[in-house]
A and B are shown apart, each in its own frame.
Chain A
Amino acid sequence: MKSLAIATTNLRRFIRDRGNIFFVFIFPMLLILVFGTSFGGDFNARLAVIVESEGELARDLVTGLEGLDTVNVIAIETEAAAVRGVERGELEAAVIIPANYDSNITAGIPVDLQYLARSGQEGNSLRSNLESVVTQQAVILRAARFAESEGLATFAAALVTAGETAANIGLVTVEVTAVGEAFSLDLLGQFDSSAQTQLILFVFLTSLAGSAALIQTRRLGVAKRMIATPTSVGNVLLGEGLGRYLVALVQGLFIMLGTWLIFGVDWGDPILATVILLIFALVGSGAAMLMGAVFSNDEQAGGMGVLFGLGFAALGGCMVPLQVFELISPGLYKVAHITPHAWALEAFDSIVLNNGTFADIAVFLAILLGYALVLYTLAIWRLRVVLTR
């Protein structure tokens, strides 16, 4: 009962702090909104098109490019803006359709399409798409030029004939069949991935930040006074631990419910999702207790909290999804699983993507409980020493 009083006092102190309100409730939601809108959904390479010509062929070319599934065509006014965009990585490539495009081509005069890209694959694959559209457009023109070069007719006359001939010839087409399964990340909703990763990142980070309160409790002598009352050290520790735990849990539940209501995030089975959170919050509060025991200055603990909070999040797949690690670097994927973050994310993946049951995520939960156990054991051992000294 006493420990519960200590815990609720902790929680109340925490919620009264306006900074906490921002970092715990507002900021994570903002991040999920931003990441979801910037990175959620398909990413297509951005090709800037500067159309200086008003002709029909120029328009056709643009329409052809716009028809490509994997290219995001962006109309840009000036060459300078396009160059700047490509240089700074705001665009993958740019192509200029010159003013004389239509007039030259219909007159049989070759035209250069200036194509600007940074070196690298994105530029190359956009280029193959551009080449493909240009070739498609040139069918009749080239046939006419051929007739002209063979001395069969003038270009203008041959152009008319080639057009009529082409209408009577069936097309050579490409029939595309999609095979296999989509990359698992592509199956998630727009906000799903960022909601999961930010939940894990923030529950841990906020817990660590909470260690400052524990240090204050120690420094101001509150802990010693509590022990001087007929309250066992165990009860005080339980209360402080429970306080950290409640903070982590309240934030986690807020993010889960909030993203579900606002962004329609799919958290899978709600009971299993809550179980993952209940256990991960235990890991976070355990880490906070350990930091509260090890550091003696709350500003130091604050700096280290940001360091560990962001560092583990980056390693554990909260900034770049584990699926990407898996695809790109098996070594990185293994390192990620040193962090509790990765195991929690695996558990969410299982219930969200594969309709995992409790049995499917039991291993992940057991590993997370292991982390919590180790962290709490170390923290309690250190705190007993520090508080009774």
Chain B
Amino acid sequence: MRAAWTIAVKDLKQRLRDRSAIIVGIIAPLVLAAIFSFVFNPIEDFEFSATYVVVDQDGGPAARLFVDQVLGAMAADDTITVDELDTVEAARVLVDVEVDPFAEDVQSADAAFILPAGFSATVVSADPATIEVLAGRGSQTAAGVAVAVAEQFASQLQTARVAAATAEFYGLEGDRAEIGLRALGVPNLATVADAEATSKILNGTTFYAAGLAIFFLFFTVQFGVNGMLEERHAGTLPRLLAAPIPKFAIVAGKAITAAIMGVVSMSVLVVATSLMFGAEWGNPLGVLLLIFGGIFAAIGIMGIVGAFAKTAEQAQVYSSIIAVVLGFMGGTFFPVGQSGGLLAQLRFVTPHAWFMQGLGDLAGGNVADVFPAVFALVVFGVVCGTLAALGIRRGLAA
């Protein structure tokens, strides 16, 4: 064990002197996390807002009900504004305006409601009636909400008409419109009962900090793991083998180097991203467990490459391919799981996905929620580490 430690200390000193490990382990993930947060957070934080206009050519009670009650209630939400205009032409012009973010005071609308003349009168008859909506092609969500609101109001009116006609059938006398309105006092039989879901989604800053940290961890660990091939290349491996130390100590030394580099890089990144960018990694114990699991898995996987590659250069090529592909599939650059599709299904073959999932579950839960992810990471480490050990034994025997 002493020998393993000596080898690890020598390797660590060497790595520290050559700044590449610091660049890959700390600087690159930190600067990229800053850039990604800067670029992507405004998009994530972007608030929905909608501007609607309404043209009431009718002025009757049904039309006013819509303008004053329905749209009035919507406008109470401060992300939605509703303006009343006089002509359809004016409304169409506003919806037609191409949204130019640089021209602050240009007026535009996402959709326009038009209540045609005679609307209220038609509603109390049995004739078909129509509400028109001009939906802006450029603003799908806002226009979609406008259509849904109009549809709902149309259904309400239909309810009032059918109710009034049914009541009339049974001989109820009185003003049709008044009876219809009274009928709307009957609530929907099916009511939408809201429940708010806990969010197990990392916020943008935390997502990029964590994603880049685990992504670069594989490269950092690879520096340590590849040490073996470098010794071979430099001709120092046979000398180590001839030394009065067990073969196991050499391998252990390299693994210790990799583990220490991984722990240092991850710890610095967790602290730095929390302090500098306000990343919220979550419960420290849970984070620690995930980091250890992640490092274990990374050493195992990179160990396989190191064990079976013939030269350090070859190992570097293969390990970067593996680290990039796994990192990308595992959703370290963008939330693969949320985007759906084939990749979302495949992602759990990577340790990265488990790490990210664990952090997400931790954000919306407690320490116990990271256990499945940590278990998966440990399994990666054990399986790959065993394969790597077998490969290395074969290599050292030859």
From the candidates B156, B158, B334, name the one contacting A171 in the complex (CB within 8 A): B158
Whether the pair A180, B130 counts as a contact (CB closer than 8 A) is: no
Decide: B318 and A19 in contact? CB cutoff 8 A.
yes
A59 CB, nearest partner CB in chain B, Å: 14
Whether, in the assembled complex, A128 has its beta carbon less than 8 Å from a beta carbon of chain B, the answer is yes
Return chain B residues, CB-CB under 8 Å to A180: 95-98, 136-138
A152 to B167, Cβ gap below 8 A?
Answer: yes
B residues 73-117 near A (Cβ < 8 Å) are 79, 92, 95-99, 101-102, 112
Q: Is A294 an interface residue (CB 8 A)?
A: no
Say yes or no: B159 contacts A143, CB within 8 Å.
Answer: yes
Q: Could you tell me the distance between the alpha carbons of A90 and B112 in the complex, rounded to whole angstroms?
A: 33
A147:B128 contact, CB within 8 angstroms: no
Name the residue among B187, B190, B364 with the largest chain A CB count within 10 angstroms.
B190
Residues of B within 8 A of A179 (CB): 92, 95-96, 112, 134-137
A297 at the B interface (CB under 8 A): yes
CA distance A30 to B262 in the complex (A): 29
- Is B335 touching A307 in the complex (CB atoms < 8 A)? no
- CB pair A19–B19 under 8 Å, yes or no, is no
A314-B338 in contact given A112-B191, A150-B167, A174-B154 (Cβ < 8 Å): no
Determine the distance from Cα of A22 to Cα of B147 in the docked complex, in whole angstroms. Answer: 48
B19 contacts A172, C-beta separation under 8 Å: no
The CA-CA distance from A315 to B37 in the complex, in Å, is 10
B159 CB contact (under 8 Å) in A87, A101, A128, A142: A142
CA distance A181 to B97 in the complex (A): 9
Nearest residue, chain B, Cβ from A22: B321
| Pick from A37, A101, A320: contact of B40, CB under 8 Å | A320
Taking the closest CB of chain A, its distance from the CB of B324, in whole angstroms, is 7
Q: How many angstroms from the CA of A37 to the CA of B159 in the assembled complex?
A: 43
Contact residues, A107-144 vs B (CB, 8 A): 108-119, 121, 124-125, 127-132, 134-144
Please give me the residue from chain B that is nearest to A304 by CB atom.
Answer: B23
Q: Are A37 and B192 in touch, CB under 8 angstroms?
A: no
Q: Which of B136-184 contact A (CB under 8 A)?
A: 136-141, 144-145, 147-152, 154-159, 161-163, 165-167, 169-172, 182-183
Contact A176-B135, Cβ < 8 Å, known A70-B141, A307-B31: yes
Interface size of A as a range? 35 or more
Q: In the assembled complex, which residues on chain A have CB atoms less than 8 Å from the CB atom of B193? A: 112-115
Contacts of B337 in A (CB 8 A): 88-90
Q: Does B1 contact A (CB under 8 A)?
A: no
Which residues of chain B come closer than 8 Å to A310, judged between CB atoms? 32
Within 8 A of A (CB), among B3-38: 18-20, 23-24, 27-28, 31-32, 35-36, 38
Q: How far is the CA of A118 from the CA of B158 in the complex (A)?
A: 32
B65 at the interface (CB under 8 A from A): no
In the complex the two chains form, what is the Cα distance from A159 to B128 in whole Å? 22
Q: Is the CB of B317 within 8 A of A19?
A: yes
Looking at the complex, which one of A111, A113, A135 makes contact with B156 (CB distance below 8 Å)? A135
B13 smallest CB distance to A (angstroms): 17
Q: In terms of DSSP, what is the predominant structure of the interface of chain B?
A: helix
Contact between B145 and A303 (Cβ–Cβ < 8 Å)? no
Q: Are A153 and B170 in contact (CB under 8 A)?
A: yes
- Chain A residues with Cβ below 8 Å from B145 are 125, 128
Q: Which residues of chain B in 175-227 are interfacial with respect to chain A, using CB atoms and an 8 Å cutoff?
A: 182-183, 186-201, 219
Q: Which residues of A contact B24 (CB under 8 A)?
A: 299, 302-303
B343 and A145 contact, CB distance less than 8 A: no
A230 contacts chain B at the CB level, 8 A cutoff: no
Set of chain B residues within 8 Å of A165, measured between Cβ atoms:
162, 165-166, 169
**Majority-rule SS of A interface residues:** helix
Residue from A23, A137, A177, A330 in contact with B190 in the complex, judged by beta carbons closer than 8 Å: A137
Does B133 belong to the interface (CB within 8 Å)? yes
Instruction: Given the known inter-chain contacts A125-B48, A161-B169, A174-B151, please indicate yes or no for A38 contacting B340, CB distance below 8 A.
Output: yes
Determine whether B235 belongs to the interface, using a CB cutoff of 8 Å to chain A: no
Distance (whole angstroms) from the CB of A279 to the closest CB of chain B: 25
Which residues of B sit under 8 angstroms from A69, Cβ to Cβ? Answer: 144
Give the residues in chain B near A140, CB-CB below 8 Å.
Answer: 162
- Cα distance, A119 to B196, chains bound together (Å): 6
- State whether B162 touches A139 (Cβ < 8 A): yes
Which one, A7-15, A321-329, A372-380, is touching chain B? A321-329
Distance (Å) between the CB of A170 and the closest chain B CB? 3
- Closest A residue to B208 by CB, please name it: A314
CB–CB A306/B162 < 8 A = no
Which of A23, A113, A128 has the most chain B CB atoms inside 10 A of its CB? A128
A46 contacts the other chain (CB 8 A): yes
Q: Say whether B130 contacts A101, CB under 8 Å.
A: no
A158 at the interface (CB under 8 A from B): yes
Name the residue on A nearest B36 (C-beta): A314
- Asked if residues A183 and B138 are in contact (CB atoms below 8 Å), the reply is yes
Interface status of B275 (Cβ within 8 A of chain A): no
* B31 close to A172 (CB less than 8 A): no
CB contact list, B21-68 vs A, under 8 A: 23-24, 27-28, 31-32, 35-36, 38-40, 42-43, 46-48
A282 to B67, CA, bound (A): 59
A178 at the interface (CB under 8 A from B): yes
Other than the known A153-B170, A172-B131, what 12 A-B pairs have Cβ atoms closer than 8 Å?
A: A88-B338, A112-B192, A128-B145, A128-B149, A131-B192, A132-B155, A139-B158, A144-B166, A179-B135, A302-B20, A314-B32, A328-B43
Closest 4 CB pairs of A and B: A170-B128, A19-B317, A121-B48, A299-B20
28 A-B residue contacts at CB 8 Å? A87-B198, A88-B357, A116-B196, A116-B197, A117-B194, A125-B48, A125-B148, A132-B152, A139-B162, A141-B189, A143-B163, A146-B163, A152-B172, A170-B128, A171-B128, A173-B129, A173-B154, A175-B133, A176-B132, A176-B135, A177-B132, A179-B135, A303-B20, A311-B35, A319-B333, A320-B39, A326-B101, A329-B43
Interface residues of B (CB under 8 A from A): 18-20, 23-24, 27-28, 31-32, 35-36, 38-40, 42-43, 46-48, 79, 92, 95-99, 101-102, 112, 123, 126-141, 144-145, 147-152, 154-159, 161-163, 165-167, 169-172, 182-183, 186-201, 219, 316-318, 320-321, 324-325, 328, 333-335, 337-344, 357, 360, 364
